[in-house]
């Protein structure tokens, strides 16, 4: 009798520890059935589950709405179970960390709410990106207002020298001046392009669609690739940082397709929803092995895309395989 009371006390103590833990907890047996779940896990994942009535509840039937967790657990089961981590998964209005650990009797999944940490990280990243954009704007203004006029003045002076020299019929010197003029014209064009890249005037003055149309038209003229833009944008303007972010992301993804994909066509779609904007860039190129590339050498371009997307609290999905082209989807939330 005393032993039974002692066992009941231990069970009650363990139950109290689980239910009052600062993180969610789900225990799953080797038949994929839930044997324990606490209120924190139910709250975090919006589960329709009674923790006191878990009669033959299969975990996969309960978490279909948490897509990334559902896919990860399915993958784990096929591989005969192994430990896993999912960091900063956006779900509902939170960011959640998941830790899955294999035990003899089945599986333990813990869930930690890191929303506050993620928000602080996003604030810091936003500040960094905003600082970068301000610096780019400053440099663009210096190039446009300083270097450009100076080069124009130099050209006028050289034209005068050349004109006087022509009266002396110095053919060799005239040829040299012609070469210099060509070099200056080329340099002026380069500086103009740099200025547009640093701070696209169309974007600042007219918004994301005219800026993307201009970007795409310039690339179509310069490269052997066809880029097509589709959009369903109804709003006149969006917050400046979001427009700049979308422009930079699109610029990076198009640049990747032009340089690395061997594609003949790229489709760019920008879709406005009530609570978000979706950017999709899809090419018909050679694609790549996503698993190995993202693990071993994702490249600066993809890292920049992911960082910018995360800075806005958005989602970045990359869908590709060898010979299957690349589809990049970015969803940026809008504050109403």
Q: Which domain holds residue 249?
A: 207-336
pLDDT tens column, 53-83: 777 788 888 888 888 888 878 877 766 667 8
pLDDT tens column, 100-117: 888 888 888 888 988 887
Q: Are residues 151 and 243 in the same domain?
A: no
Q: Are residues 81 and 139 in the same domain?
A: no
Angle between helices 115-142 and 240-260 (to 10 degrees): 80
Q: Which of 113, 138, 154 is the endpoint of a domain?
A: 113
Q: Are residues 149 and 230 in the same domain?
A: no
Residue 3 predicted with pLDDT over 50: no
Q: Are residues 211 and 303 in the same domain?
A: yes
Q: Are residues 257 and 285 in the same domain?
A: yes
212 vs 6, 165, 247, 279, CA distance in Å? 71, 46, 7, 12
Residue 99 predicted with pLDDT over 70: yes
Given the DSSP bridges, would you call strands 326-333 and 276-283 parallel, antiparallel or unpaired?
A: antiparallel
Q: Are residues 89 and 119 in the same domain?
A: no
271 vs 211, 214, 305, CA distance in Å? 16, 18, 18
Q: Quote the number of domains for the chain.
A: 3
Distance (Å, rounded) from C-alpha 214 to C-alpha 234? 19
Q: Are residues 64 and 181 in the same domain?
A: no
Strand (E) or helix (H) holding 229: strand 226-231
Distance (Å, rounded) from C-alpha 45 to C-alpha 140? 47
**Gyration radius of the chain's alpha carbons:** 29
Classify 4 as helix, strand or coil: helix
Q: Are residues 119 and 15 in the same domain?
A: no
Q: Are residues 301 and 241 in the same domain?
A: yes
pLDDT, mean of residues 122-138: 69
Per-residue DSSP letter, 23: S
pLDDT, mean of residues 248-274: 90
Q: Are residues 130 and 105 in the same domain?
A: no
Q: Which of 66, 90, 113 is the endpoint of a domain?
A: 113
Q: Which of 148, 179, 199 is the endpoint of a domain?
A: 199
The answer to whether the pTM exceeds 0.85 is no
């Amino acid at each position: 009798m005393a032993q039974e009371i002692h066992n009941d006390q231990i069970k009650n103590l363990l139950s109290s520890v689980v239910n009052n833990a600062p993180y969610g907890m789900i225990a799953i047996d080797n038949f994929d059935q839930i044997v324990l779940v606490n209120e924190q896990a139910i709250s975090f994942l919006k589960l329709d589950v009674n923790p006191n009535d878990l009669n033959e509840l299969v975990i996969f039937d309960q978490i279909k709405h948490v897509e990334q967790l559902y896919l990860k657990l399915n993958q784990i089961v096929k591989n005969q179970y192994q430990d896993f981590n999912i960091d900063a998964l956006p779900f509902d209005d939170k960011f959640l960390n998941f830790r899955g650990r294999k035990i003899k009797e089945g599986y333990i999944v813990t869930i930690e709410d890191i929303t506050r940490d993620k928000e602080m990280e996003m604030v810091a990243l936003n500040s960094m990106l905003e600082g970068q954009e301000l610096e780019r704007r400053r440099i663009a203004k210096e190039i446009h207002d300083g270097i450009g006029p100076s080069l124009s003045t130099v050209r006028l002076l050289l034209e005068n020298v050349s004109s006087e020299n022509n009266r002396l019929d110095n053919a060799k010197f005239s040829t040299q001046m012609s070469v210099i003029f060509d070099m200056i014209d080329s340099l002026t064009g380069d500086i103009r392009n740099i200025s547009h890249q640093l701070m696209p005037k169309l974007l600042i003055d007219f918004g994301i669609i005219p800026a993307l149309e201009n970007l795409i038209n310039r690339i179509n003229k310069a490269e052997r690739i066809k880029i097509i833009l589709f959009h369903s944008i109804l709003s006149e303007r969006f917050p400046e940082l979001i427009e700049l972010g979308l422009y930079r992301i699109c610029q990076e993804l198009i640049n990747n397709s032009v340089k690395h994909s061997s594609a003949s066509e790229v489709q760019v779609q920008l879709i406005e929803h009530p609570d978000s904007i979706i950017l999709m860039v899809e090419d018909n190129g050679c694609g790549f092995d996503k698993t190995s590339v993202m693990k071993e050498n994702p490249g600066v371009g993809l890292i920049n895309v992911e960082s910018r997307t995360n800075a806005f609290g958005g989602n970045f999905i990359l869908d590709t395989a060898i010979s299957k082209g690349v589809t990049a989807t970015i969803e940026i939330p809008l504050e109403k």
